[in-house]
Amino acid sequence: MNIKIGIVITLLALVLFSGCVEEATCGNDVCEAGETEGTCPADCAEIEDPPLPPIPTDEANEGPPELPF
């Protein structure tokens, strides 16, 4: 009797969890498992930060300008 219950529970678990795997969808702004920059650049392309503006310097001291307070 216990073996039958175990088999029923196992089969029920297989049926319930067999459809839980979602395939990766290219173009949803999420780089999911199975996607790479080559297969889905819309989601997985590495974004470079824009360059920072130059820091103004005090030409006499060759450093940042002094604060007014």
**DSSP, residue by residue, 2-27:** HHHHHHHHHHHHHHHHTT-PPPP-TT
> Tell me, what's the pLDDT at 49?
87
> Tell me, what's the pLDDT at 62?
64
> Tell me, what's the pLDDT at 47?
80
> Tell me, what's the pLDDT at 12?
75
* Backbone dihedral angles phi then psi of residue 52, each to the nearest 5 degrees: -75, 150
pLDDT tens for the chain, 69 residues long, are 688 887 888 887 777 776 666 788 899 999 998 899 999 999 998 888 889 988 776 666 666 667 787
> Tell me, what's the pLDDT at 40?
92
